[in-house]
Amino acid sequence: MTRLTILEYPDPRLRTRAVPVERVDAGLLRLVDDLFETMYAANGIGLAATQVDVHRRLLVVDVSGERSDPRVFIDPEILHREGAITGQEGCLSVPGYYDEVERAERIRVRALGRDGRPFEEELSGLLAVCVQHEIDHLDGRLFVDYLSELKRQRVRIRLEKERRQRADGQSTAPARVPAI
Ligand code: GNR
Ligand code: NI
């Protein structure tokens, strides 16, 4: 298994609309395993393929908090939405930022499972929220898109600055020594 690199906002690749998988083969199952490894290593409760720069429609989630309920959704479709729930969301592609987002409280989802067979399931609470967040990734949407332009701009500037500082730290150029 391989831990993959997670793209961070405002990386334009996060805006890609993923294409259907249609066929579940050995290569796709390897990707599923890598998504779980990457998600667990980052302490996330969900991960969409888009976030690791693979633009195919699949996502993994585990909201159990003890890595005991891994779930895979391939080519997911929301058939029905009900109610509303507002909660704090975070995103591994928007590290260190959390804010309130309103979602449907219950959804009915159709998807393919690991075995490549279609299934339908009613989801609610955190699991429903997480699957909606992940399907947004597959459509090139991020939770910060639901916030004000001002908040989004602040987050973008902070993450761009952090990225620049990381790049500086990794530079192989000689350190600049103060002229005193
Ligand atoms: O780890 C995550 N936590 C989370 C919390 C509230 C709502 C959604 C999420 S998903 C997020 C992992 C992630 O970025 N998935 O795309
Ligand atoms: Ni996310």
The pLDDT of residue 170: 85
**What spacing in Å lies between the alpha carbon of 63 and ligand 2's midpoint?**
13
Mean pLDDT of 33-54: 98
Whether the full predicted model's pTM is greater than 0.85, yes or no, is yes
Token code pair at residue 105: 């409280």
Ligand 1 proximity of 101 Cβ (cutoff 6 Å): no
Query: What tokens does 162 get?
Result: 């952090």
Percent of the chain exceeding pLDDT 70 equals: 97
CA–centroid distance, residue 83 to ligand 2 (Å): 22
Examine the residue annotation and report whether 160 is marked as an active-site residue of this protein.
no
The answer to whether 57 and 20 are in contact (CB under 8 A) is yes
Which one of 134, 149, 160, 162 is the catalytic residue? 134
**Where would I find the H helices in the chain?**
26-41, 125-138, 149-169
Which residues on adjacent β-strands are paired with residue 73? 59
Give the count of beta carbons closer than 10 Å to the beta carbon of residue 71. 20
The answer to whether the CB of 48 falls within 8 A of the CB of 59 is yes
CA angle 152/154/157 to nearest 5° reads 110
pLDDT number for residue 21? 98
pLDDT at 96 over 90: yes
Residue 90 has φ and ψ, to the nearest 5°, of -130, 175
Read off the pLDDT of each residue in 4-21 and give the average, rounded to a whole number. 98
What is the separation of C-alpha 165 from the centre of its chain, rounded to a whole number of angstroms?
A: 24
For the Cβ of 44 lying below 6 angstroms from any atom of ligand 1, the answer is yes
Q: Is the pLDDT of residue 77 over 70?
A: yes
Question: Does the C-beta of 137 come closer than 6 Å to ligand 1?
Answer: yes
136 lines ligand 1 (CB under 6 A): no
CA 124 to centroid of ligand 2, rounded, Å: 18
